[in-house]
């Protein structure tokens, strides 16, 4: 089946937002949704899905919206209908058996995402865990054996049109392979290329929004403009520094020749040297110094990988530079005018 390039991911029973805090770094994810019944825990841990300073310095190439909801995975909310991937990590065992059926209908019948991943403790493995009398956690309502979990998963898959694959996490010591993994995992893959149409006119938004944030992205034209300008100014400064270093290197070589030969035989024509500078890349145009300004061809700036990546196209780079007062362009618009002051004592 085909999947979208960008994905909306929901983590039901997100608890401490551990999974969400890792998924936010995936560029293919544009929507992250967390749902949990513990309101205080969501408020305490929501900082884990907040943007970091680096997210503003280096914005994502794609959009990302993170939302945390207080609600139950057994309750239908229309905001959950567009999810492509749903994870339920150690969730089902916290539900009463009567709630498991509502959970199944909510996730597979109502949300109907392309992929669902469900993990739950493997009761067969419990004898290997010291101190386990019945269940691994006081709030567990049940813990399935491998046979029980696989039977439930296959039944759900047949009912809602999903192929099921089984795996697990956490191997036991040698000689206990027959007990399986510590945590058992079902991966459900929807067989239909598109989710079935569901009547949603009576659907309500029953979850309470606790936290929502939109990450800075290069798809935001204002953010893209600021980041591109920063990179262009940095690139122009690198060009200026390169010219200064080249000049001082050449002057040093001239002084050495002066001592070896007669004065004047190795004089450097500084007026010509300051007028033009040609980068090592012969495909680039000359950088000229006129009236104390470096005339840096825009095509040179666009040839720099970071500038090209951020702006996307030469036309977009021109548009950004033409509408800002942070840089000055030549009258023809083909050159960036940048101060050529080469005072080595400057900060």
pLDDT at res. 341? 74
Q: Which helix (H) or strand (E) holds 118?
A: strand 115-121
Q: Is the pLDDT of residue 198 over 60?
A: no
Backbone angles phi, psi at 325, to 5 degrees: -105, 10
Per DSSP bridges, beta strands 208-214 and 162-169 are: unpaired
Three-state secondary structure readout of 163-230:
EEEEEEECCCCCCCHHHCCCEEEEEEEECCCCCCCCCCCCCCCCCEEEEEEECCECCCHHHHHHHHHH
Cα–Cα distances in angstroms (integers) from residue 89 to residues 81, 132, 324, in the given order: 19, 20, 48
Average pLDDT over residues 24-45: 96
Model pLDDT for residues 6-16, shown as the tens digit of each residue: 799 999 999 99
Cβ-Cβ contacts under 8 Å for 79 (sequence gap 6 or more): 33, 67, 69, 205, 207
Contacts 24+ apart (CB under 8 A), 297-305: 297/334, 297/335, 297/336, 298/329, 298/333, 298/334, 298/335, 298/336, 299/334, 300/239, 301/232, 301/235, 301/236, 301/336, 304/231, 304/235
Judged by DSSP in three states, 335 sits in strand
C-alpha angle with apex 16: 59 to 46, nearest 5 degrees? 45
Q: Where in the chain is the domain with CATH 3.40.50.150?
A: 7-214
Residue 197: CB atoms within 10 Å: 7
Q: How confident is the model at residue 271 (pLDDT cuts 50, 70, 90)?
A: very low
Judged by DSSP in three states, 277 sits in strand
Q: Is the pLDDT of residue 78 over 50?
A: yes
Give the integer Cα–Cα distance in Å for 273 and 15.
65
Q: Is the pLDDT of residue 272 over 90?
A: no
Average pLDDT over residues 28-41: 97
pLDDT at res. 269? 45
Q: What share of the chain is helix, strand, coil (3-state, %, to 5)?
A: 40, 20, 40
pLDDT at res. 196? 62
pLDDT at res. 161? 96
Q: Is the pLDDT of residue 273 over 50?
A: no
Average pLDDT over residues 113-140: 94
Average pLDDT over residues 184-196: 87
pLDDT at res. 251? 57
What the block records as the tokens of 40 is 């205080």
**Range of weakest confidence among 141-145, 253-257, 342-346:** 342-346
The pTM score is: 0.76
pLDDT at res. 192? 82
Model pLDDT for residues 298-329, shown as the tens digit of each residue: 999 999 999 998 888 999 999 999 999 999 99
Per DSSP bridges, beta strands 335-339 and 208-214 are: unpaired
Q: How confident is the model at residue 26 (pLDDT cuts 50, 70, 90)?
A: very high
Cα–Cα distances in angstroms (integers) from residue 292 to residues 246, 334, 342, in the given order: 17, 18, 10
- Mean pLDDT of all residues belonging to the chain: 86
Q: Which helix (H) or strand (E) holds 307?
A: helix 305-311
For 7-214, give the CATH class.
Answer: alpha beta
What the block records as the tokens of 337 is 């005018």
Residue in the block written with tokens 């800002």: 324
Q: How confident is the model at residue 236 (pLDDT cuts 50, 70, 90)?
A: very high
Cβ-Cβ contacts under 8 Å for 264 (sequence gap 6 or more): none
Average pLDDT over residues 95-104: 95
Model pLDDT for residues 55-70, shown as the tens digit of each residue: 988 899 899 999 999 9
Q: How confident is the model at residue 342 (pLDDT cuts 50, 70, 90)?
A: low
Q: How confident is the model at residue 346 (pLDDT cuts 50, 70, 90)?
A: very low
| Greater pLDDT, 196 or 242 | 242
Give the integer Cα–Cα distance in Å for 198 and 85.
18
Average pLDDT over residues 150-171: 97
């Amino acid at each position: 089946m085909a999947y979208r390039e960008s994905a909306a991911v929901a983590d039901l029973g997100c608890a401490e937002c551990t999974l969400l805090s890792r998924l936010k770094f995936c560029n293919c994810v544009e929507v992250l949704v967390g749902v949990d019944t513990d309101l205080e825990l969501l408020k305490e841990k929501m900082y884990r899905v907040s943007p970091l300073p680096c997210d503003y310095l280096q914005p994502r190439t794609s959009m990302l919206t993170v939302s945390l909801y207080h609600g139950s995975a057994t309750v239908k909310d229309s905001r959950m209908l567009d999810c492509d991937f749903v994870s339920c990590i150690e969730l089902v065992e916290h539900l009463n058996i009567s709630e498991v059926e509502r959970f199944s209908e909510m996730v597979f019948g109502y949300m109907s995402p392309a992929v669902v991943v469900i993990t739950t403790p493997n009761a067969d493995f419990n004898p290997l865990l010291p101190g386990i009398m019945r269940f691994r956690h006081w709030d567990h309502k049940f813990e399935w054996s491998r046979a029980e979990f696989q039977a439930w998963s296959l039944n759900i898959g047949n009912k809602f049109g999903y192929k099921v694959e089984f795996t697990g996490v956490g191997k036991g010591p040698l000689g206990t392979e027959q007990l399986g993994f510590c945590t058992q995992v079902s991966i459900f893959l929807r067989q239909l290329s598109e989710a079935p149409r569901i009547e949603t006119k009576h659907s309500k938004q029953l979850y309470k929004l606790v936290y929502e944030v939109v990450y800075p992205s290069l798809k935001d034209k204002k953010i893209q403009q600021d980041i591109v300008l920063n990179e262009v100014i940095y690139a122009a400064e690198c060009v200026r520094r390169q010219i200064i270093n080249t000049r001082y290197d050449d002057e040093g070589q001239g002084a050495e020749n002066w001592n070896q030969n007669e004065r004047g035989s190795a004089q450097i024509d500084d007026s010509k040297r300051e007028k033009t500078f040609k980068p090592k890349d012969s495909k680039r145009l000359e950088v000229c110094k006129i009236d104390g300004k470096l005339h840096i061809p825009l095509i040179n700036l666009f040839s720099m990988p970071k500038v090209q990546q951020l702006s996307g196209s030469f036309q977009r780079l021109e548009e950004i530079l033409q509408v800002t007062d942070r840089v000055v362009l030549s009258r023809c618009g083909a050159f960036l005018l940048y101060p050529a002051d080469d005072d080595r004592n400057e900060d």
